[in-house]
Amino acid sequence: MAVSSKSLLVAGLISTAVAWSPARVGPTSRAKQSPADSVERARALHVLNRLAFGPGLGDVDRVVAMGVDRYIEQQLNPEKIKDDQLERRLASFEVLRTSPETQARIYVEEQRARQQRQRAAGQDSARMGANDVPPPGREPPSLNRARRLAGELQQAAVVRGTLSERQLYQVMVDFWTNHFNVFLGKGADRFLLPEYIEHAIRPNAMGRFEELLIATARSPAMLFYLDNVQSVAPGSRPPQLARLERARQAMARRRPGRVPGRPDPRQLDSLRARIEQRIPQGINENYARELMELHTLGVDGGYTQQDVINVARILTGWSMTPPQQGARFVFNDWAHDTGEKVVLGRTFPAGRGQQEGSELLKLLANHPSTMRHVSAKLCARLLADDPPDGCVDAGVHAWERTAGDIRAVLRAIFRSPEFWAPEYRAAKVKTPL
């Protein structure tokens, strides 16, 4: 029976979860329970199925002994919860200690070595059939380090969900990683994703939505995934091209003939042609559309196609340094559209540069449509696939009061009558990791 690589990955993740399942063994009462005890145990089970990845052995008894309300408040303050067992386990994960530039170097070197092996195999095709070329999973260990690091990132998510005492925090990291989705299999995101999760998602998962949104918008992983690194104002010319053109003009003013030590004009022309081929040709709407449709306002959030275009114009120039140079956020002013823009009725004056993008993100983060869209998604994750209006309204009102404090929004959802309604208990299918 053939086994796909996806099946092997799933099997590996399951084995990781089993091998590192939590040993939270608490007291188990065998005495006859009173009606009040039964109610409290039912509440504890409901909370563990919503705020956590499910109850471990003894967890229901532990939450009952602590008090359900106290447990909820504890989970809303994860920085006060010790997580020593998890930290010891994560210390062995190389991917969490490896910088983006190092991962980029590993990936590029392995790709180059893999291509060389494939060319060698092709040249020796008389002796070696196509089936003799080792598939990716059976290549020498020296060519599998990048793939192993990507696998470690997935395993780390399972280990965190299994071992962590900060269960709500891990649930929210998982929620936001899906909400602000970046695909691991796209080009440079194979080595940009760890930095994205560790430095954009995790530090902001329980903070303010505005700060989380800005962190994802400035992340090289997001900018690469949704092609904003390819979005420039029409007619943009990078500085290196302008320098080449000036050098070529200076040469034209000199006497004809080759001068030792000076570059050949034909070399400059060839270099300029290569740079021009790589220059993006205009704005790219991918990130602008996803930003409004999925990350903030929602598909029915009241924006127009012209809003999408103007958001893309505002975000021209939001880019990244090359991965081998650290893959850091950079604002390229040469690529920015300097004209006036109007988004959702608000005018962004001409010539504001990077500040336009920051102001745009603040506008979107606290827009009424964003409050409702994201609150509805939170209720869908934490309560019911078709969330009741009361739950969503509770989240929206808390958002309005606190300028998008995620903890306050969660607390309001957990305190809403709908969260405890009997019809929403044990009525939700688990989301797979």
| Phi-psi group of 387: left, alpha or beta (phi > 0 → left; psi -120 to 50 → alpha; rest → beta) | beta
What's the gap between Cα 187 and its chain centre?
A: 15
pLDDT digits (tens, 9 = 90+) for 244-292: 555 555 555 555 555 555 555 565 555 555 555 566 678 999 999 999 9
Residues 6+ apart with CB under 8 A from 2: none
Closest CA to 106 of 151, 139, 138, 144: 144
Name the range with the highest mean pLDDT among 27-41, 192-206, 275-289.
Answer: 192-206
Averaged over 142-161, what is the pLDDT?
88
pLDDT digits (tens, 9 = 90+) for 85-123: 999 999 999 999 998 888 888 888 887 887 777 777 766
Say how many CA atoms lie within 13 Å of 355 toward its Cβ: 8
pLDDT digits (tens, 9 = 90+) for 301-321: 999 999 999 999 999 999 999
Report how far residue 52's alpha carbon sits from residue 77's, in angstroms, rounded to the nearest whole number.
14
* pLDDT of 242: 62
Residues 6+ apart with CB under 8 A from 29: 37, 61
**Contact yes or no for 85/23 (Cβ under 8 A):** no
**Contact yes or no for 412/378 (Cβ under 8 A):** no
Tokens of 53: 């990845």
Tokens of 66: 């602590």
- Helices 59-66 and 35-51: crossing angle in degrees, nearest 10, is 110
Instruction: Using a pLDDT cut of 70, give the percent of the chain over it.
Output: 76
pTM of the model: 0.83
Report how far residue 206's alpha carbon sits from residue 407's, in angstroms, rounded to the nearest whole number.
6
Residue with the bigger pLDDT between 146 and 283: it is 283
Closest CA to 50 of 153, 160, 175: 175
Closest CA to 372 of 409, 343, 346: 409
Report how far residue 424's alpha carbon sits from residue 387's, in angstroms, rounded to the nearest whole number.
9
Amino acid identity, position 232: V
Alpha helices, H only, 76-199:
84-90, 100-123, 145-163, 167-179, 189-196
Q: Which phi and psi angles does 405 have, rounded to 5°?
A: -70, 115
Closest CA to 364 of 386, 334, 337, 343: 343
Task: Give the burial class of 147: count Cβ atoms within 10 A of its Cβ; 0-12 exposed, 13-18 middle, 19 or more buried.
Answer: middle
Report how far residue 53's alpha carbon sits from residue 431's, in angstroms, rounded to the nearest whole number.
9
Report how far residue 345's alpha carbon sits from residue 347's, in angstroms, rounded to the nearest whole number.
7
* pLDDT of 147: 86
Closest CA to 68 of 86, 52, 85: 52
Question: Where in 215-372 does DSSP place strands (E)?
Answer: 318-320, 329-331, 341-343, 346-348
Instruction: Tell me: pLDDT of 28 over 50.
Output: no
The dihedral formed by the CA atoms of 77, 78, 80 and 83, expressed in degrees to the nearest 10: 160
